Structure 1
Amino acid sequence: MTFEVFAPAKINLTLHVTGQRADGYHLLDSLVVFANVGDRLWFEPGPEMSLKVSGLFAQGVPTDQRNLVWQAAELAGWTGRITLEKNLPHGAGIGGGSADAAAALTALGGGAKAATLGADVPVCMRLAPTRMRGIGDQLDAADGIPPCWAVLVWPGVGVATPDIFKHLKNKTNSQMPEVLPTFQDHTGMTEWLGGMRNDLQASCEALVPEVSQALKALAGCEGAGLARMSGSGSTCFGLFKTLSQADAAAQKIARAHPEWWVKSCVLGQVN
């Protein structure tokens, strides 16, 4: 029997780089939420493994053992036909392959070995707002984060995470407060987030000027309370007070930049 799984986009509302270990791994303190937009996967058990990729961003996605979904299925001891509908851009700082692998592990089992597939895979298995620390291995529920409306903008240019970290000037920055607030509404959360950071944003803007353009476009929309880059880029997000404001902003940006990927969505509510 074929069954379907949803792999939501991962959004880093904050990303503080707090240090670097002797082995080169960077230490992070990040507030992560998930969107109601993402990739979709279908699994049909069978004697042999196969992977078919479709969707807007299918081009360039491997269909063999190099794909994290394939590797996740092998970790779970499962074989069969996998179909991946790739709706999220890759190299975009919103989970991508990690989200797909996490969805596969959730559906098929093998989650105990999630970290072997990448630092973001364990957090992508949670689907609820999460504080991620260390090298992605310290995960704590962030219960005080309410759902909110957002617009995601990927300006058509991918970026390699190692390149962003290589250009990061200061790798020892302050973490978020030890105890995160519990927010009663969107306004309070947005104001607090404005005092937090994505320490990789400036490096990415220097390498990918389109990120600055996306941030400017989001900030210029009516109702935008915050515009920031997610993860190591190059997707940016804007937070809005109402769904109608987010929809209007997405339409405005898409008209002005038809070459960009633009989506209005809800953060903190996955379907």
Structure 2
Amino acid sequence: MREIAYAKVNLALHVRAREPDGYHRIETLFAFCEHGDALEVAEADEIILSVDGPFAEAVGAGEDNLVLRAARALAARHGVTRGAALHLDKSLPVAAGIGGGSADAAAALRLLARFWWLDADEETLCGIAAGLGADVPACVVSRTVRGDNRGDVLTPSDENWSGTPILLVNPRVPVSTPAVFARWDGLDRGPLGTAHAGRNDLESPARSLAPEVGDLLSLLGAQPGTTLVRMSGSGATCFACFEDEPARDAAAAALEAAQPDWWTLATRLR
């Protein structure tokens, strides 16, 4: 059995307040790409994980890997005694603002619910996911939804982004999410409306930590045919949505020629 850990993008992300516990109250519009990491499972006596792929070294297969944590949380919730040999092909960069670890954990929940023949609907999986990280419930759903509170309170969105050509680019600079949030200036710039009218309040603090983010946004914004250019999450991945796939592919070729060491993914939104 196989499951895709769909890459997450925040089409907009508004930071509304810093709470007394140190967490931040946000409003965001999640969307998901057609591509991502790949997770496979086979029979085993216990729950084990192996990892390969371009970014395998950055995540490892240790006990703190979110895939293992998700698998064990699901097994504990449903009293599962079977094992599972999980294999993760890690093709998404880490600490990149596109939900890599969260998407992997969500894929593990969806995959193992099928593999173990569990009576676990989406609501049940989201409940388990909430204990693994703020983005994990949205990654379980993996469709366009609005996220409130810490991004973990989900409501349907009436915005239809399905099929939109999108280009994701990361300058291969890891950015710490806590460090970016710590640099937020505390100014509430207003509520989230539509994605096009929105913003990402973490762009400025991310630029201060990684100037490459500003360079990347400028390059993406200069490409013909863009309809939305923004940073995703806390960075450093940025994205551009396009009018059509030829415009997206031309932009991908241009950026790969200009910055051959950067990571790119040309795909579509689900």
* Deviant stretches of 4+, over 6 Å: none
Amino acid at match of 2:149: G
CA distance in 2, matches of 1:247, 1:196: 25
Indicate the residue corresponding to 1:172 in structure 2.
188
CA distance in 2, matches of 1:103, 1:69: 8
Query: Is 1:99 the counterpart of 2:97 in the alignment?
Result: no
Contact 1:50 1:64 in 2 (8 A): no
Amino acid at match of 2:83: T
Indicate the residue corresponding to 2:133 in structure 1.
118
Contact 2:37 2:104 in 1 (8 A): yes
Deviations 1:48-80 (A, max 9, x none): 222111111111212121100011111121522
CA distance in 2, matches of 1:146, 1:169: 31
Contact 1:20 1:172 in 2 (8 A): no
Indicate the residue corresponding to 1:154 in structure 2.
170
CA distance in 2, matches of 1:171, 1:64: 39
CA distance in 1, matches of 2:58, 2:71: 20
Amino acid at match of 2:101: G
Indicate the residue corresponding to 1:85 in structure 2.
89
Q: 2:61 aligns with which of 50, 54, 63?
A: 63
Q: How does 1:160-239 map to 2 (within 5 A)?
A: 160-177=176-193, 193=196, 195-239=197-241
**TM-score after normalising by structure 1:** 0.89
Q: 2:49 aligns with which of 37, 47, 51?
A: 51
Q: 1:138 aligns with which of 144, 153, 166?
A: 153
TM-fit CA distance, 1:171: 4.5
TM-fit CA distance, 1:143: 2.9
Indicate the residue corresponding to 1:246 in structure 2.
248
Amino acid at match of 2:99: G
Indicate the residue corresponding to 1:189 in structure 2.
none
Contact 1:51 1:84 in 2 (8 A): yes
**TM-score after normalising by structure 2:** 0.90
Structure 2, unaligned runs of 5 or more: 76-81, 114-123
Indicate the residue corresponding to 2:120 in structure 1.
none
CA distance in 2, matches of 1:263, 1:63: 24
Indicate the residue corresponding to 1:21 in structure 2.
19
TM-fit CA distance, 1:23: 1.1
Deviations 1:27-66 (A, max 9, x none): 0100110001200000112112221111111112121211
CA distance in 2, matches of 1:18, 1:76: 32
| SS, match of residue 56 in structure 2 | coil
Deviations 1:155-176 (A, max 9, x none): 1101010000111112533111
| SS, match of residue 66 in structure 1 | coil
Contact 2:58 2:94 in 1 (8 A): no
Deviations 1:129-179 (A, max 9, x none): 0000011231011132232111100011010100001111125331113xx
Moved more, 108-117 or 251-260: 108-117
How many residues matched? 252
CA distance in 1, matches of 2:49, 2:88: 7
| SS, match of residue 137 in structure 2 | helix
TM-fit CA distance, 1:120: 0.5
Indicate the residue corresponding to 1:41 in structure 2.
39
